[in-house]
Amino acid sequence: MIDPSAPLPIDWTVETTAIPDRGLKGTRAATEAERAALADALGILSCDALEASYQIRALGGGAYRLEGGIDAAVTQACVISLEPIAGRVAEAFSVEFRRDVEDAPVEEEAEILAAPDVERIENDRIAVGRIVYEALAAGLDPYPRKDDAAFEWRDPKLAEGAGNPFAVLKKLKD
């Protein structure tokens, strides 16, 4: 979850007054500075490319639906060797924006998972950048690993035989 007080790495917003009745289609590519800010915010080595395509359409009653997808090229560190690993993230998103969002408690887990994503419209702006950032964060590999990376650590105590419980019992027997 994003800290609402922290600045977004990509501040792409669309004014609701700029959305025509037929909807608004857009494509946006992150600048070098935005990609560097994304990499820093996400804790990855680099975001080499990020492009988002989306459509915003009015639903009536002051609500809007933002649908689209992202395509990104990222570089993450291998969890074993820390070597750089190139990766690709392709994620789709669909979010509803409303002026008034009720935070009604839902008791069933299945109902929570089936509920549509609903976000609040703040200052008559739709936060496309925040949704793109969240889609990228959700699509990252949480444990990137090179194919040939192997974890080969041995406990030094076991090498000496001190960690073997049967060796300790043998000493008691003698």
Averages of pLDDT over runs of 10 residues in the chain (174 residues) are 68 90 92 94 95 93 92 94 92 91 62 66 90 94 84 66 65 70
Residue pair 124/18 in contact by the 8 Å Cβ criterion: no
Q: What is the pLDDT of residue 107?
A: 63
Q: How far, in Å, CA of 75 to CA of 55, rounded?
A: 28
The DSSP annotation for 24-84 comes to EEEEEE--HHHHHHHHHHHT-SEEEEEEEEEEEEEEETTEEEEEEEEEEEEEEE-TTT--E
- Give the pLDDT confidence of 10-46 residue by residue, as tens digits: 889 999 888 898 989 999 999 999 999 999 999 999 9
Question: Taking the model in full, what pTM does it have?
Answer: 0.76
- Give the pLDDT confidence of 136-148 residue by residue, as tens digits: 999 999 998 888 7
Q: What is the pLDDT of residue 57?
A: 94
Q: What is the pLDDT of residue 1?
A: 44
Q: What is the pLDDT of residue 32?
A: 96
Q: What is the pLDDT of residue 114?
A: 55
